[in-house]
Amino acid sequence: MKVKSALLLLIFTIATVLTGCEPLMVLDPKGPQARRQAHDIILSIGIMSFIVIVVFAILIYVLIKYRESRQSPDYEPPHIEGNKWVEILCVGIPIIIVTYFSIVSVQSNYIVEAKPKGYEDKAPLVIYASSSDWKWHFSYPEENIETVNYLYIPTDRPIEFKLYSYGPITSFWIPQLGGQKYAMSDMITTLHLAADEPGELMGRNANFSGKGFAENMFNVTAMSEKDFDKWVKDVMKTAKPLTKEEFNKLLKPGHYGQMTFTGTHLGFNPPPEHHHSGAATEKNSNSDESNMDMNMDMDMSDHQNHE
C-alpha cells in the first residue's frame, strides 16, 4: 500500500507538470460565476482530501500492524461487535461535513441562477443562443444582429443567455465564465454569466449531439463596452441581413464557419417560450423557466397555446 500511495503522488505530480503549469480552465475563472464555482471546487477538494487522508492513514496502519506474518501463529483475533463512540464519530463527522457542503451548495445554486455578483444593478445583455446540428446561432435582439459560431460580449455587463435547440439536447458551456446549461427544443433555459476582463475564451457544446459534436465549438471574445458598441455599429454597417431562406439553409446539419448578419431569426422563427418579447428583464431572472410549463406547443408556425 505504501507503494500505491507513493505512486499516486507521483502521478499527480506528473499530471501537474504535464499540464504545462498553465492553470486548468475551470480553475482559471474570468467571471464571477466561474469564480464561485472554482471556489466550491477547491473547497470540496480540500475538505474531502481530509477524509481521504484519514482513510489512507488508518488503512496503512492496520495493514502493517496486523499482517499475519507479524503475529504469532496462534493469535486469535478478538470478536468485536462494535463500539458506540467510534460509530458516533464515523457518522457524526461526515454528517457535519455534508451539512456544511449542503449549505455551500444551496447558496451556490442560487448564485449561479441569478445575475452575477457585482453586476446586479446593470441591465443585462440578452443573447439567444440556439444550437442546430452542429453550430451555434447567437441572436442579439436588442442590437438586432446575429452571429454564427462566435460571440462578442462586453465586460462590465451581465449577460443573460437564453438557450434552446433546434434538434438534440446540447449544452452551452464557456468554462472560464461559468458552468453550462442544456439547450433543448421545447423550452428555453437561462444562463447568467459575466466577463470580468477582456480576452479570448473557449466555448463549446458539452452534450453529445451526434456526428459533428466534437467540432461543435465557438469562440468568445470579451471586450470593453466601448469596443462592443463599436463592433455592433460595424456589423450594422457591413453585414448582410438574415433572411428566412438563409436561416433555413443554416439549420441544415453541417459545420459552418463564423458568420455575421444583421437582423435575427427570432422574428420569423421564434424560440419556444410563451412570451415572444426579446428582453427578459421583466421576468424573474432569479430562476429560469424551471417549473416547466407544459402548455407549450412546439410547432413554430402557429403561436396558439393549448391549455
Please report, as residue ranges, which positions from 252 to 291 form the binding site for another protein (by CB under 8 A): 286-291
CB nearer to another protein: pick between 41 and 236? 41
- Look at the alpha carbons of 234, 239, 244, 248 in this order and tell me if their dihedral is positive or negative: negative
Residue 202 CA: distances (Å) to CA of 51, 154, 222: 34, 16, 11
Min dist CB 53 to another protein, Å, is 10
What grid cell was written down for 213?
Answer: 459534436
CB nearer to another protein: pick between 48 and 123? 48
Between CA 288 and CA 126, with CA 218 as vertex, the angle to 5 degrees is 35
For residue 199, state whether it binds another protein (rule: CB under 8 A). no
The residues, ordered by sequence, that sit 6+ positions from 38 with a Cβ below 8 Å of its Cβ are 26, 27, 28, 29
CA distance 56 to 64: 12
CB nearer to another protein: pick between 277 and 286? 286
Q: Which stretch binds another protein (CB under 8 A): 142-150, 175-183, 242-250, 254-262?
A: 175-183
Q: Footprint of another protein on residues 89-148 (CB under 8 A)?
A: 90-91, 94-95, 98, 101-102, 104-106, 108-113, 133
Selected from 115, 137, 162, 204, the binder of another protein by CB under 8 A is 204
Each residue 208-247 as x (binds another protein by CB under 8 A) or -, in order, gives xxxxxxx---------------------------------
Burial of 65 (0-12, 13-18, 19+ CB in 10 A): exposed
Nearest to 136 by CA among 195, 194, 191, 176: 191
Phi, psi (degrees; rounded to nearest 5) at 214 = -60, -35
81: amino acid identity, one letter: E
CA distance 185 to 166: 6
Q: Which stretch binds another protein (CB under 8 A): 52-60, 120-128, 220-228, 259-267?
A: 52-60
Each residue 2-41 as x (binds another protein by CB under 8 A) or -, in order, gives --xx-xx--xx-xx--xxx-x-xxxx------x-xx--xx
